């Protein structure tokens, strides 16, 4: 029998920053840099806000998935 890997997060600190988080952080930083450096009119304005908005939406989705996975993996006597 093969054992399935656990979806439960480790209790210790992560060994490295996940690449997904790094990608979202880079999108926010790029969006903010565009707003600061570029004349905030036209297409650059919308691209900057799209980068920031997309990163925030992805972060929200990732948080919801994490919460659901950790809740689904709790033993039944620990659930509310």
Q: Tell me the per-residue pLDDT of 10-43, one tens digit each, with 9 for 90 and over.
A: 565 656 777 888 888 888 888 888 888 876 678 8
Q: Which of 67, 60, 54, 66 is nearest to 23 (CA)?
A: 54
Residue 73: inside a domain, yes or no? no
Residue 22: inside a domain, yes or no? yes
Residue 49: inside a domain, yes or no? no
Predicted TM-score (pTM) of this structure: 0.59
Whether 51 and 72 have beta carbons less than 8 Å apart is answered as: no
Tokens read off for 67? 């919460």
Range of the domain at 22: 18-44
Q: How many domains does the chain have?
A: 1
Residue 27: inside a domain, yes or no? yes
Residue 12: inside a domain, yes or no? no
Residue 32: inside a domain, yes or no? yes
């Amino acid at each position: 029998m093969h054992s399935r890997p656990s979806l439960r997060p480790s209790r210790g600190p992560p060994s490295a920053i996940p690449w997904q988080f790094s990608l979202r952080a880079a999108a926010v930083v790029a969006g903010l840099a565009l707003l600061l450096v570029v004349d905030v009119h036209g297409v650059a304005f919308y691209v900057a806000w799209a980068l920031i908005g997309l990163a925030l939406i992805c972060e929200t989705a990732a948080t919801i998935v994490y919460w659901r996975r950790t809740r689904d993996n709790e033993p039944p006597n620990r659930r509310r």
